[in-house]
Amino acid sequence: MEVLKYPNRLASTFKRLRAGTRGVLLCDYDGTLAPFREDPSEARPYTWVPGILGDIAAWGTRVLIVSGRAADDLLKLLHLEAIEIWGSHGRERIQPNGTRWVWKPNAETEHLLDRIENELRRLAPGKRLERKVGCLAIHWRGLSQTDAEWLQKTVDELRARFDKHGVLMVKAFHMGVELQAPGPNKGSVVSTILDEEKGADIAVCYMGDDQTDEDAFQELGERGLNVLVSPTPRLTFADVRLETGDEVRLFLEQWRDAVRGGCDHDE
Ligand SMILES: [Mg+2]
């Protein structure tokens, strides 16, 4: 674990949880709660995730998963009750009671994404494309270097041809790129949740490994604890860096033990 700034924030978060303050824990999925896989549909969570997150939720913390994946995709991978899911980078939401919300993208931008998707399917059949709410992800995991470079170049050419006004945002991720219509992001999830919790005494933490998680770190800022999961140091808005895997498990175990202590304290 590496403390990057505000050395007391980590300790004070756990202290508040132990004293009975309600926790709000927002976690990214891939690379945070699940190891990377060549085939993303096989990215199951670490074996310890359902148990620890389930306990954390049972002891009163509001647990949310915030991911770039489609929300239904996450439901299939994570069989957990009492957990709220935000998919497609905050563009769709499934609440623990099953209530769904989906952001409505602008029709013109959707049409632009349709054209790029159709052209890519024609030029690159068999390559992995993932259409989500207001975004198109193009994956090159598992491709040869030549194929991956060709695909990247083709995406750039199609953007130049169809998106003449540069409306789409381009977000690189591990072994791929995503074209996004301007709209909600992981930072807007944080602001929505903070609004919903307005006035409540809460201890909030956001944990993630992606570039897109930086929007959430920035939005949460000093109002909570920002945890970057990364095997190597990088430029970040986070307060603390955890190594992938075991350090995440230890952190979540600490959270569980703190909220369990907090509940004992209440009694
Ligand atoms: Mg991730």
Axis-axis angle for helices 7-18, 246-266 (nearest 10) = 40
Q: How far is the CA of 174 from the centre of ligand 1 (A)?
A: 9
Q: How far is the CA of 223 from the centre of ligand 1 (A)?
A: 22
Q: How far is the CA of 161 from the centre of ligand 1 (A)?
A: 30
Q: How far is the CA of 94 from the centre of ligand 1 (A)?
A: 19
Q: How far is the CA of 107 from the centre of ligand 1 (A)?
A: 28
Query: How far is residue 30's CA from residue 21's CA, in Å, rounded to a whole number?
Result: 28
User: Would you say residue 264 has pLDDT above 90?
Assistant: no
User: Would you say residue 65 has pLDDT above 80?
Assistant: yes
Please, are residues 27 and 52 in contact by the beta-carbon 8 Å criterion? no
Q: How far is the CA of 199 from the centre of ligand 1 (A)?
A: 30
Q: Do domains 2-103+184-266 and 107-180 have the same CATH topology?
A: no
Q: Where are the domains of the chain?
A: 2-103+184-266, 107-180
The string of pLDDT tens digits covering residues 4-34 is: 998 899 999 999 999 999 999 999 999 999 9
pLDDT of the residue at 175: 84
Q: How far is the CA of 30 from the centre of ligand 1 (A)?
A: 4
Three-class HEC string of 57-118? HHCCCEEEEECCCCHHHHHHHCCCCCEEEEECCCCEEECCCCCEEECCCCHHHHHHHHHHHH
Q: pLDDT: is 247 or 40 the higher one?
A: 247
Average pLDDT over residues 42-69: 94
- The superfamily in CATH containing domain 2-103+184-266 is HAD superfamily/HAD-like (3.40.50.1000)
Q: How far is the CA of 12 from the centre of ligand 1 (A)?
A: 26
User: Would you say residue 266 has pLDDT above 70?
Assistant: no
pLDDT of the residue at 45: 94
**Beta-bridge partners for 173:** 176
User: Would you say residue 267 has pLDDT above 70?
Assistant: no
Q: How far is the CA of 8 from the centre of ligand 1 (A)?
A: 26
Please give the mean pLDDT across all residues of the chain. 93
DSSP 129-197: EEEETTEEEEE-TT--HHHHHHHHHHHHHHHHHH-TT--SEEEEETTEEEEE-S---HHHHHHHHHHHT
Q: How far is the CA of 38 from the centre of ligand 1 (A)?
A: 14
Q: How far is the CA of 177 from the centre of ligand 1 (A)?
A: 13
Per-residue pLDDT band at 265 (split at 50, 70, 90): low
Query: How far is residue 22's CA from residue 240's CA, in Å, rounded to a whole number?
Result: 21
pLDDT of the residue at 150: 94
pLDDT of the residue at 127: 82
User: Would you say residue 80 has pLDDT above 90?
Assistant: no
User: Would you say residue 191 has pLDDT above 90?
Assistant: yes
- One-letter amino acid at 198 equals K
Query: How far is residue 264's CA from residue 133's CA, in Å, rounded to a whole number?
Result: 42
User: Would you say residue 245 has pLDDT above 80?
Assistant: yes
User: Would you say residue 173 has pLDDT above 90?
Assistant: no
Q: How far is the CA of 208 from the centre of ligand 1 (A)?
A: 6
pLDDT of the residue at 159: 96
The string of pLDDT tens digits covering residues 118-162 is: 999 999 888 889 998 899 999 998 899 999 999 999 999 999 999
Residue 7 CA: distances (Å) to CA of 10, 11, 154, 175, 250: 7, 8, 46, 33, 18
The string of pLDDT tens digits covering residues 85-96 is: 999 999 999 999
Q: How far is the CA of 17 from the centre of ligand 1 (A)?
A: 25
pLDDT of the residue at 28: 97
Fold of 107-180: Alpha-Beta Plaits (3.30.70)
